[in-house]
Structure 1
Amino acid sequence: MLALVVALTGSASNIVDDWWWLGALALVALAAAVAERMQPPSRLRAAAEMALASIVVGLGFPDAYLALPYLLLPAFAGGLAGGAVGAIITTIIAALGLAAGDILARNALLDLGSMGSLAAWLVIVFVTGAIGAWLIRQENAQAADSERYAAAYRLLSELRVVSRRLSGGLDPVTLAEGILDRVGAGLDVRRSALLVRREGGVLFPLAERGGDDGWVAGAERDPVVLDAWTNEVPAWAPAGRRGHRVVLPLRVGSRTIGAVVADVPDQALPDDLNELARSTDEGAVRLETALLFDEVRELATREERQRLAREIHDGIAQELASLGYLVDDLLARTTNADTASLATTLRRELTRIVTELRHSVFDLRSDLDREAGLGDTLAGYARQIGTQAKLKVHLSNQEAQERLRPEVEAELLRIGQEAITNVRKHAKARNLWVTVNVNPPSAHIRVADDGIGLRQRPSNHYGLDIMAERAKRIGATLMIEDAPEGGTAVGVSLGPDYEEG
């Protein structure tokens, strides 16, 4: 920058009378270079350089007007070192230094014309500092992202090691059942449940012992549960003929991440309950880790489904559609009957494949509606498929206000979607029946059709195997049988005592 000032001054030597300010500015630049080698960049160093340089320019004004571009350098350095604050400080110092230098040299302020020119340069000085502040902010943001990704990778690596060492891995249900077993070993428990909070503040049972008839529904409104959750200490109260209800908070540090609710015949001693609550703290840490791991896995799965949908839509689907246009052109040009017949068959097959790819994209993008719930989401999917495949859809949806665990809802949704997709692909049906009954922790989904039935379907059972794997993952039972309607019925039931309504 000093070389630029020298070049500008040399080109205007015929109108410049005094040159002393150029030497003074060179000394300022030399001092700044020495300071840069001795200490890291800072707002103080940029402010000092700006103060000295602006005073020199003010003292040498108007001959030193050509030295104004030098002020951009400390302004940029101020923005890099101090961000927006640094840019503002160096601009203010530049204005004060120019005014002070001019007053010292001439005992008067600049005339209006000169002040207008300097004001324009001060704006340029501020913009230069702002550019430096923006650049350092972008660099810091990238560095912070890199650090966060590195930290997340380390955490996931540690979780993988921990998961392999734990006997039950990082499965939330297995860990919850382990906590209930520990509580059952310390108390004479008639029935118990481990509750965790989900979106909307609703508590839902992650695991139960001794009953699954919805006895913990509305637990977030139970005063005993609220007392234990809020105060982070065990709570109990009489429960009529059932004896007493005991609630043990699951604590991680200063937070409550869940609660064990148990009905016991006799009142337990406070010291015993406190000791039992302390014994579950380690299990609470593992459970929270497993729930977090499950959430990360769910988000990753959802993002991967969206990515695959984009890849299919923007890639192979577009390529096949373009190939179809070429076949159409061939059909329009050919005069050979055999060629036209083959091209027609090829065009029909391409249309079928593109249609299947579009259905696949739709399936991948169909996700669980967190507001509507499992039944409404599956019903919307069935209507959409029914419209595409010209099926008459019959829906029955009985869903309680309480919700299943998110991962269970997701698996049940995929099983129902796969069953509906199989009807569209293979059944050659006219009617589709979809029944959804959800009463946590139990659920039942039935998809039936009046098509050709199981015996005449293709031998490829890959889709059925996937449904069986999904059902096994959540502890559900999958049933595939001939339907009374004349086609096939696929049912998935969750909960050992479930009875189809």
Structure 2
Amino acid sequence: MLRQQLGRIRRTDVAVAAGFAVFALLEELLIKWPGDWWPFALTGATLLILVRRLIPVLAMIPNALAVMETFYEEATIGGEETVNFRLWQVVAMIICAYTVGRWVPPFDARRRIVRRGLLGAATIVLTVATYWYFNPEDPMIDIFIPVAPYVLGIVISVQARKLTEAAGVRAEFRERQAREAVMEERVRIARELHDMVAHSVTVMVIQAGVVRRRLDAGLPVDAQLLQGIESAGRDAVTELRRTLGLLRGDGAETAQPPVGMDRLDDLVGQVREAGLPVTVRRCGDPVPLLPAVDVSAYRIVQEALTNVLKHAHATSAGLTVDYRADGLHLEVVNDGPPAPPAPGGGQGLIGMRERASLFGGELHAGPRPQGGFEVRARLPVPAVVEGAAR
């Protein structure tokens, strides 16, 4: 226990105590105060200053008593009557009074600290009253010497507590920001993996089912179906490697280029190979898209076509890509019967809406009046359109 308490002594405590001891020795050697008891008093005062943060109130009381005894004691130095004013004793009391205000202020949330703080305040008041009793001619000195360092300690204690609380708030805010950033990144990665793997695996499952049914019926297997399965598998592996490469922090030179609207024909070809006829209609003059918008537009079309394959039981689908003045309009429709909500909570639709809203666009998904299902999205690209016009 004692070792733990001594371990709390800081280097600054040792430095202050050493500096005080040097100052007191110089005063005694230069002024040559009468009396031979001062080495013991100086040693005790130095030790109390050394451990003042561990026992603030107990360290102050002996110093205050010592000042009361000798502050106004008259002595004869050089044949003249003078006040036995040992400055080092006053300095020791000032240091301890400051420590009481700094480490045991009279107000704190903890009950134990409050009791110690009130004891420290009472000690300061008693010291002032005693000094005033022995020296009523100079009350300002009697008040200033104990009270000023004590109040200074309280002020610094309050400021330190405020700084600590502010640092805690900032740390909590940074931690909350980090958690939110992690969650956003997780959602983004989950959306990328869902859009990427769901489409490729859906194509592979449907094509593998066609192959199985043809084999069960004893019919020859079209090589293009097997090539489609192989191609979809390669695409899934490539996209997985790209995403995992980004997670590992691989450089741009090692990562695969992201998908975009320039790969739309490949995507439609995969869906057609899976057995769903898709009609593509393009309107307007194509303009260069920002990379993030390009990827999001591709993912929206990919997810919409994947949902048609998985849930719509449609015989055909239509894709419209329309470049207008207010942005890029995408539409995917099918002629399938009304279908129940997709299992898994409709994460694909949620992801598509997030991608659209990320750029200030909107997305509508729902049954068509004439039958089937439709997904309509608009991604604003005004800056790109204006730049293309110039």
Indicate the TM-score class for this superposition, using the shorter chain for normalisation. 0.3 to 0.5
Q: Which has the larger radius of gyration?
A: 2
With the length of structure 2 as denominator, give the TM-score of the two structures: 0.37
Report 1 or 2 for greater relative contact order, CA contacts < 8 Å, sequence distance ≥ 6.
Answer: 2
Q: TM-score, normalization: structure 1? A: 0.30
